[in-house]
Structures are given as structure tokens and as C-alpha cells.
Amino acid sequence: GTAEHLPVWDWLTLHINPMHRVLQPHEAEAASWLCYAESVLGGTTTVVDMWRFMEGSAKAAEAIGNRLVAVPYVGEHPDYNYFDTLDMNEAMIETWHRKAGGRVNVWVGLEHLFYADEAGQRRAVELAKKRGTGFHTHCSEAQIELAEFERRYGKRPMYVLDDLGFFETPLAMIAHGVWLDSAEIEFIAKRRVSVAHNPVSNMKLASGIALVGEMLAAGVAVGIGTDGEKENNNFDMFEEMKVASLLGKLKDLDAAAMDSWQVLRMATITGAKAIGLDAEIGSIEPGKRADIIAVRTDTPRMTPLYGEGPYFNLQHNLVHAVRGSDVAMTMIDGQIVVEDGEIKTADLGEIIAEVRKVAPGLFARRAAFLAENAGGVRQWTD
């Protein structure tokens, strides 16, 4: 609630990147503890998190019990030398990849292709291939990107990423993909490319509406994400499912579009496929990891509930009625981390207190930076 009512590039220029310029490791770790606690309380077992100073994030996930794909927020360009580096990314892979009993994994990340020079782009590809990890970046989030890709490369974004080798990595996932056209969708469907759909964020930042139905029909693995606390304001995946469904209907002017079963699959097995873990998680089957949640059925939002017969409505209640606060139990890798709606593996009061302690200093330093740099930070659009 501190970076509101701006389109994505103004939001980055005036709020988010100035924060990144002054962020300190202990503040980044405090944020991870809070975000990961909120996630499990709301029934989210697995998160793909692009963040800063992620040693602290991995420690938080290890302690709380989250299943984490950590993707360092990397910039390899003189204008973005305040972000994490590929050296830091490789060190994270060395220290944390496949740790915490396999719950913590580390991918290679670039915040955006334009946040890296040519050498950085090549090294990111080489690092993911050498280490056998996935690659993640933001792309095709706003219309302004398309013009810049055309100016720099004479091509649309997906063809550029392919030319640069990013689709030769074991798995590439792009966040958003709002402005992918039909040809690009068919193109990535034939490659190891998945998409993280962030409907609330895309609405809040007025980025646009992604062609999710078309992506799924083409065979692209599309998972659902919240994008982050700054651009969403919460981590409620049940809310995100509802918005994904309704936004799909609005996009196509078709009340049957993005039905409840399809959205549930995006939040479970298709989302697992999007991060290459569908053989381990995403469904309840013999031999898979025990990532299971229980949702209360004694609430107004779940009433009436018909578990069989012609009025079967469980899927509709889960997608369109339930909220994260209705989650009674969250189990990850066989460990109960939330029981009776309370987190069992960490002290939520201490987590909240730590964030309240460190947040004023972070905001004060950002305000001081902006007082000296009224236009915010330089963007590739400058």
C-alpha cells in the first residue's frame, strides 16, 4: 500500500527501483519471512520468488517449510549495478540448490532482458545451462516493451529471447506475457517455455490482459502468481484464482471461459509443470511429495457444499468463494506447517515485529534518495 496508482514503468522509476537502491540484506530477509509465512497461512505450498539477497530467503523457507524456487533479482548493466549479480546468483546455486530436503531450489534470473548488457545476457544463459537450472525473467508485461524490442532488435520479445539462447536452458519461465501475440504463443508452445500469469498485478499496474486461454489451448504451461506484495498487496492465491477466472471471461466476453476446473489446474498441476516439478507435486498421487492443504467447509463461503450429485460445486466454491483465511491446514513435504489456521514452524508475532522494526529505516532511506533524485532512477526507456 505504499506504491499505488501508477503504471508499471512509473511505479518502477519512482518507487520500486529507488527502494532496491537502498535495500539492505537484513531488510530483504525480514520481508521473505513475512511473505513466506503469509503464503503458507493462505495454503500456498510452493513459491517462485525473484528477490534480493536471497540467502535470507532460503533460510526463511528452510525454517518455515515452504517449497521455494529462489530466483535472484539480477541486473548486469551499469545502470542497474545496485541489483544482485550473476556472481551472487551462482553462489546461491552452489549453496542452496536442491537443499532443505529438496524443498529449496535456485534458478538463474534477470529482472528484465534490458537490465543486462550483451555479456550479462550470454553469461546468464551459460550459467543456467552449466548448472542445469531454470531461467526466469519478466517479459511482455507492458506495451512500451514491444516498441523497445522492435527498436533494438527489429523483432518481438519471444524471438529475441530465443535468438539469445534463453530457450536453450533446461526450462525458461517468463512472468506476465501480457502482450504475447498468437504467433509468439505458438512459438513458445514448441519450446521449453512456461508463463507465470499475474492477473491482479496486471490489473493494478494497468498492464493489460494476457491471452491465457489461447496459451493453454496451445499447450503452454501457465501457472498463477501474485507477482509480489508491492504490486498485489497480498498473497491470497484463492483471490488470484477468482480474478484469473473472471478476467478470462471478460477478455473473451464469454461466461464459459476460464472455468473453475481449468483455473484449479493452473494453480496446481499446470503450475507445477510450469516450474518443472509436475512429477513431484501438483496432484495427490502415490509417489509424489505430500504437499496438501485442507480448507474449512463450515464457513458461509463454502455453504452450501455439494460433494457429489448433479449440484457438485466444490470447484466453484474453491475458485470463486474461498479465501486464504479459510485454510485450516497446510502440509509441505509431509510436514504440517499450518494447523487450525496457525503457523506451527515460526513465530508470526516475531516475524511481524521484525518487519515493523526495519521498515521505517528502509522508507526513510528511499525518501532521502528521492529528495536528491526527484526523477527517480534511470530506466531503459530514458
**What CATH number is given to the structural domain containing 204?**
3.20.20.140
Alpha carbon distance 155, 322 (integer Å): 42
pLDDT (tens digit, 0 to 9) for every residue of the chain, 382 residues total? 777 888 888 899 999 999 999 999 999 999 999 999 999 999 999 999 999 999 999 999 999 999 999 999 999 999 999 999 999 999 999 999 999 999 999 999 999 999 999 999 999 999 999 999 999 999 999 999 999 999 999 999 999 999 999 999 999 999 999 999 999 999 999 999 999 999 999 999 999 999 999 999 999 999 999 999 889 999 999 999 999 999 999 999 999 999 999 999 999 999 999 999 999 999 999 999 999 999 999 999 999 999 999 999 999 999 999 999 999 999 999 999 999 999 999 999 999 999 999 999 999 999 999 999 998 988 776 5
| CA distance readout (Å), 58 to 68, 96, 223 | 8, 7, 22
Of the chain, the end-to-end C-alpha distance in Å amounts to: 27
Q: Which helix (H) or strand (E) holds 197?
A: strand 193-197
Q: Which residue has the cell 530483504?
A: 28
The reported pLDDT for the residue numbered 381 is 61
Alpha carbon distance 321, 360 (integer Å): 36
Alpha carbon distance 212, 179 (integer Å): 11
Alpha carbon distance 220, 134 (integer Å): 16
Rg (CA), the chain: 20
Alpha carbon distance 183, 241 (integer Å): 26
Alpha carbon distance 57, 218 (integer Å): 35
In a domain, 204, yes or no: yes
Q: For residue 102, give its domain range.
A: 8-369
State the burial class of residue 178 (Cβ atoms within 10 Å of its Cβ: 0-12, 13-18, 19+): buried
Grid coordinates given for 203: 490489473
Three-state DSSP state, 225: coil
In a domain, 156, yes or no: yes
Length of the chain: 382
Alpha carbon distance 269, 279 (integer Å): 9
Alpha carbon distance 49, 107 (integer Å): 10
In order, the DSSP letters of 154-172 are SS-HHHHHHHTTGGGSS-E
* pTM for this entry: 0.96
In order, the DSSP letters of 309-336 are STT--HHHHHHHT--GGGEEEEEETTEE
- β-pair partners for 245: none
Three-state DSSP state, 215: helix
In a domain, 382, yes or no: no
Alpha carbon distance 57, 33 (integer Å): 7
How many C-beta neighbours within 10 Å does residue 78 have?
8
Could you tell me which residues come within 8 angstroms of residue 94 by beta carbon, excluding any fewer than 6 positions away? none
In a domain, 207, yes or no: yes
Alpha carbon distance 50, 47 (integer Å): 10
Alpha carbon distance 124, 45 (integer Å): 28
Angle at 107 (CA atoms; ends 347, 220), nearest 5 degrees: 105
CB 43 within 8 A of CB 263: no
In a domain, 173, yes or no: yes
The reported pLDDT for the residue numbered 382 is 59
CB 103 within 8 A of CB 62: yes
Grid coordinates given for 251: 477478455
Alpha carbon distance 114, 149 (integer Å): 9
In a domain, 1, yes or no: no
Number of compact structural domains in the chain: 1
Q: Which helix (H) or strand (E) holds 205?
A: none
In a domain, 376, yes or no: no
> Of 118, 107, 260, nearest to 196 (Cα)?
107
In order, the DSSP letters of 64-132 are HT-EEEEEE-B-BSGGGTTSB-HHHHHHHHHHHTTBTTTTEEE-EEEEEGGGB-HHHHHHHHHHHHHHT
